[in-house]
């Protein structure tokens, strides 16, 4: 492959430079120069303008959009019903969360159904991959392996094998010979991903790119790739709990925010097709102060999640506030509402800890009411009922506001056996649902009083 011409281009001001520098000579921004391949316009076979043909929308056929099911139901549902041939999917997640395990299981399942699958392992040797496969019960699988990090070699293997599915684990270790920058740098990651995407779109194979992200979603890679790919999946979970959640945050071929739940076991990932009871503590454990169940809606799947709060008098100094799963700023707001609008002035001298069971992220405002009730319950040392749950957003005035898809959330709660649900009074819609009592509340004060009765 001929050496391509590369330049360092500033991501802030577009300044071009032949040499890398820590600081852009154009705008003075630090760490903004990124190496990129520059091909003069017209050199890569650009055609004269009169040869460009356009296609009427009505004549575009979709015969190739047939999805391939992997057989891992949770994985398929997050993708929107299976793999779309020719699509490119980025699977991001923190190191050690289980991305390689997930994708090797997917590769094994696809290969077992007769698909040609190429698994490119850039981080682990063939031996290590085999050891992993043995744990997953895939040691006899026909998956084709390549342990290499060089883009040109990978492209060669893809051309020879013409696989239906290619998995590259991970994009951060792949390097293109043409670039001088280190693997994992923004320039390398982007150039390698672009080259692979181009190969796939031409050949109609599906590509999965593994990308590591840190807690704040950074580390050259996944973020710069999101616009290049069709689908972005994030694999996450509390490292200490065995549960792993797979979410789609972008999907050109299906709904976003779809959620798949897995359990990491000694023999790999096991699907959890019915996860609602997982994140709620055992009803038999009796009523306890500081607990309230809310319902988050992930894509099309309602998930019951218990919120637990603990308040404890703080000594001297500023009171501490800690959250797991619940948004910190949202907690600050709810504490202010409880102090000023519900009259729980003691909260100003309390440390407050709030967490969701299993560390499930409750980012929707629909969880507000459950969080507020849990805090009030802990502060007053009055237990809530195990059969109650709360759905609603809390406004700055303390009003309880309706949220989307209440009936879908309530149905799920009913199915699991809850008997009373606090909902916004302004909600409209059915006042009763068979088997579960809907209690309308207009203000968080009212909800707290009823829940702690």
Q: Which residues contribute to the site for ligand TYD (CB under 6 A)?
A: 93, 95-101, 132, 135-136, 264, 266-268
Q: Looking at beta carbons only, is 93 or 254 nearer to Mg ion?
A: 93
When asked if residue 377 is in the footprint of Mg ion (CB under 5 A), the reply is: no
d(CA 344, CA 341): 8
Phi-psi region of 354 (alpha: psi -120 to 50; beta: other; left: phi over 0): beta
Running DSSP on this structure, what letter comes out for residue 277?
G
How many CA within 13 A on the CB side of residue 323?
Answer: 17
Write down the least CB distance from residue 92 to ligand TYD, Å: 10
How does DSSP assign 233-262, residue by residue? Answer: EEEE--TTSSEEEEEEEEETTS-SS-EEEE
Q: Looking at beta carbons only, is 101 or 251 nearer to ligand TYD?
A: 101
The entry of Mg ion, ligand TYD, none near residue 264 (CB within 5 to 8 angstroms by kind) is: ligand TYD
Q: Looking at beta carbons only, is 97 or 304 nearer to ligand TYD?
A: 97
- Give the neighbor-by-neighbor strand order of the sheet with 144-146: 144-146, 117-121, 165-169, 206-212, 88-93, 231-236, 243-251, 259-265, 268-271
Q: Looking at beta carbons only, is 98 or 289 nearer to Mg ion?
A: 98
Interhelix angle 186-203/151-161, nearest 10 degrees: 10
The H or E element that residue 229 is part of is none
> Would you give the binding string for Mg ion spanning residues 30-59, x where CB under 5 A is met?
------------------------------
Write down the least CB distance from residue 167 to ligand TYD, Å: 11
Write down the least CB distance from residue 237 to ligand TYD, Å: 11
Q: Looking at beta carbons only, is 26 or 242 nearer to Mg ion?
A: 242
Write down the least CB distance from residue 97 to Mg ion, Å: 9
Running DSSP on this structure, what letter comes out for residue 166?
E
> Would you give the binding string for Mg ion spanning residues 394-423, x where CB under 5 A is met?
------------------------------
Q: Looking at beta carbons only, is 94 or 368 nearer to ligand TYD?
A: 94
**Residue whose beta carbon is closest to Mg ion:** 100
Number of residues that bind Mg ion (CB under 5 A): 1
d(CA 162, CA 143): 13
> Would you give the binding string for Mg ion spanning residues 99-118, x where CB under 5 A is met?
-x------------------
Q: Looking at beta carbons only, is 101 or 311 nearer to ligand TYD?
A: 101
Write down the least CB distance from residue 414 to ligand TYD, Å: 35
Write down the least CB distance from residue 108 to ligand TYD, Å: 12
- By three-state DSSP, how is residue 341 classified? helix
Write down the least CB distance from residue 268 to ligand TYD, Å: 4
How does DSSP assign 43-107, residue by residue? Answer: TT-PPPGGG-----GGG---TT-PPBP-S-HHHHHHHTSSBPTT-EEEEEE-TTSSHHHHHHHHH
d(CA 341, CA 117): 59
Residue 202, Cβ neighbours under 10 Å: how many? 9
Write down the least CB distance from residue 363 to ligand TYD, Å: 22
Q: Looking at beta carbons only, is 100 or 356 nearer to Mg ion?
A: 100
When asked if residue 129 is in the footprint of Mg ion (CB under 5 A), the reply is: no
Q: Looking at beta carbons only, is 9 or 103 nearer to Mg ion?
A: 103
Q: Looking at beta carbons only, is 87 or 170 nearer to ligand TYD?
A: 170
The entry of Mg ion, ligand TYD, none near residue 142 (CB within 5 to 8 angstroms by kind) is: none
Write down the least CB distance from residue 228 to Mg ion, Å: 21
Write down the least CB distance from residue 266 to ligand TYD, Å: 5
Q: Looking at beta carbons only, is 167 or 337 nearer to ligand TYD?
A: 167
When asked if residue 308 is in the footprint of Mg ion (CB under 5 A), the reply is: no
> Between residue 3 and residue 22, which ones bind Mg ion under the rule CB under 5 A?
none
> Quick one: tokens of 110?
């696809």
d(CA 446, CA 397): 13
Q: Give me the helices (H) in 123-184, please.
A: 126-135, 151-161
Torsion of CA 364, 365, 369, 374, to 10 degrees: 60
> Would you give the binding string for Mg ion spanning residues 62-101, x where CB under 5 A is met?
--------------------------------------x-
Q: From residue 115, give the alpha-carbon distance in Å to each of 72, 141, 157.
A: 15, 11, 16
Query: What is the rounded end-to-end Cα distance, in angstroms, of the chain?
Result: 75
Write down the least CB distance from residue 95 to Mg ion, Å: 7
The entry of Mg ion, ligand TYD, none near residue 101 (CB within 5 to 8 angstroms by kind) is: ligand TYD
Q: Return the closest-CA partner of residue 67 out of 53, 78, 52.
A: 78
- Interface residues toward Mg ion, by CB under 5 A: 100
């Amino acid at each position: 492959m001929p050496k391509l011409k590369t330049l360092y281009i500033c991501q802030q001001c577009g300044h071009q430079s032949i040499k890398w520098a820590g600081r852009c000579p154009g705008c003075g921004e630090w760490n903004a120069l990124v190496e990129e391949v520059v091909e003069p316009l017209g050199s890569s076979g650009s055609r004269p303008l009169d040869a460009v043909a356009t296609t009427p929308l009505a004549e575009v056929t979709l015969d190739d959009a047939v999805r391939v099911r992997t057989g891992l139901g949770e994985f398929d549902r997050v993708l929107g019903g299976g793999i779309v041939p020719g699509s490119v999917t980025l699977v991001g997640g923190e190191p050690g969360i289980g991305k390689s395990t997930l994708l090797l299981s997917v590769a094994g399942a696809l290969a077992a159904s007769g698909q040609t699958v190429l698994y490119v392992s850039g981080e682990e040797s063939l031996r290590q991959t085999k050891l992993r496969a043995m744990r997953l019960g895939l040691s006899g699988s026909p998956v084709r392996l390549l342990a290499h990090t060089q883009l040109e070699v990978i492209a060669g293997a893809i051309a020879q094998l013409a696989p239906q599915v290619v998995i590259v684990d991970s994009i951060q270790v792949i390097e293109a010979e043409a670039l001088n920058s280190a693997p994992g740098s923004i320039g390398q990651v982007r150039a390698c991903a672009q080259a692979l995407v181009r190969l796939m779109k031409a050949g109609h194979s599906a590509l999965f790119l593994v990308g590591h992200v840190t807690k704040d979603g950074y580390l050259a890679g996944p973020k710069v790739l999101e616009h290049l790919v069709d689908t972005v999946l994030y694999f996450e979970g509390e490292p200490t709990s065995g549960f792993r959640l797979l979410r789609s945050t972008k999907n050109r071929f299906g709904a976003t925010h779809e959620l798949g739940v897995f359990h990491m076991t000694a023999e790999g990932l096991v699907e959890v097709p019915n996860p609602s009871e997982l994140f709620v503590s055992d009803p038999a454990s009796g009523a306890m102060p500081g607990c309230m169940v809310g319902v988050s809606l992930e894509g099309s799947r309602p998930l019951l999640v218990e919120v637990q709060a603990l308040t404890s008098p703080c000594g001297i100094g500023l009171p501490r506030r800690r959250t797991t799963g619940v948004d910190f700023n949202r907690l600050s707001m709810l504490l202010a509402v409880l102090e000023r609008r519900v009259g729980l002035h003691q909260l100003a001298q309390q440390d407050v800890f709030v967490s969701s069971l299993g560390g499930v992220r409750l980012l929707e405002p629909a969880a507000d009411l459950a969080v507020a009730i849990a805090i009030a319950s802990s502060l007053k040392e009055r237990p809530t009922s195990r059969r109650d749950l709360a759905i609603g957003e809390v406004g700055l005035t303390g009003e309880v506001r309706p949220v989307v898809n209440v009936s879908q959330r309530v149905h799920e709660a009913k199915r699991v056996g809850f008997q009373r649900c606090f909902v916004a009074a302004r909600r409209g819609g059915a006042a009763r649902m068979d088997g579960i009592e809907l209690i309308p509340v207009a203000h968080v004060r009212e909800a707290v009083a009823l829940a702690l009765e």
